[in-house]
Structure 1
C-alpha cells in the first residue's frame, strides 16, 4: 500500500470543518481529541484530516509545528486499518485531531497514544481490527 500522505488528504473545506464541530461526533483519548463525521468529500479518497495543536498551550510556533509534524508522521504510518475499513464500507470520513496535552511530547508518547486513539476511532466506526 502507498505510504504517501499528500495534499489530497488535507481537509480545507470550511463548510465540512464547521459541520464536523456542529454535527460530528467526538472521541477523547488523552492527549488527543478526535472529531469525526461520515460525509462526502470532494475527492475520491477515504478520509481527509486536520491536525492541530493549540496556541493556548504552546506559545511558540516551533513547538506547535513539531507536535503536528510528529502527529502527521504517526498517523501516516498507522492509517492502513482505517483506510481499508472505509474503502470496504464505501464511506468517506472527515477527521479533526487535536493535541490537548500541556507538555511537549516525544515521538514514542505520540505513537503509543495516537495508536490507542485510532483503535477507539475504529471501534466507533465499527471497523474490525
Structure 2
C-alpha cells in the first residue's frame, strides 16, 4: 500500500498512553517554540521487532494539544487542532526526508498551542514549517557531530 507524501494516516498519530508518557516523562525529550506553537519532540531508535501488521513503521508520529485554558469552547479548540494537523500534513516532508536519510531514527512529536487567540491558517503553516525546518537542521548538526571524520 502506497501512501501519499501529503497524507496523515492514523498510524502516524500518537494515541498510546505509554508513548505519551515516554514523551513527557521519559526525560529524553526536548522542546522548541515558534509562538504560538510549542513542539515537544523525542528521537528514538527504529525498532524492527514491534512493527505494525502491514510492516510499515512511520518515521514520525505526532499529536496536537490545545489546552482548555486558552479556548473554553470545544469548537475553537477543534478548529485550532485541525489547523495544526493540516499544517503538519503539508510540511511533514521536511522532517520525514531528513529521517529517511538517517534511516535508523523515528521521531515522536507533540504540538501544543500556547496562545489565547486564533491565527490565520497561513500563519500557522509558516510557524509549523519553521519548527520542522529547525528540527531537521538540528538533527543534521547532531549527525555531523557524531560522525567520525
Output the TM-score relative to the length of structure 1. 0.90
The answer on 1:119 being equivalent to 2:124 is: no
Output the TM-score relative to the length of structure 2. 0.78
2:111 alignment partner, SS class: strand
Q: Which runs of 5+ in 2 are unaligned?
A: 142-149
CA distance in 2, matches of 1:80, 1:55: 30
The answer on 1:64 being equivalent to 2:77 is: yes
What is the root-mean-square deviation of aligned Cα atoms in Å? Answer: 1.8
Worse-matched range after superposition: 110-119 or 33-42: 33-42
1:19 to 22, 31, 49: 22
Residue in structure 1 matched with residue 120 of structure 2 by the alignment: 106
Worse-matched range after superposition: 50-59 or 36-45: 36-45
Larger radius of gyration: 2
CA distance in 2, matches of 1:36, 1:2: 21
Q: Which runs of 5+ in 1 are unaligned?
A: none
1:50 alignment partner, SS class: strand
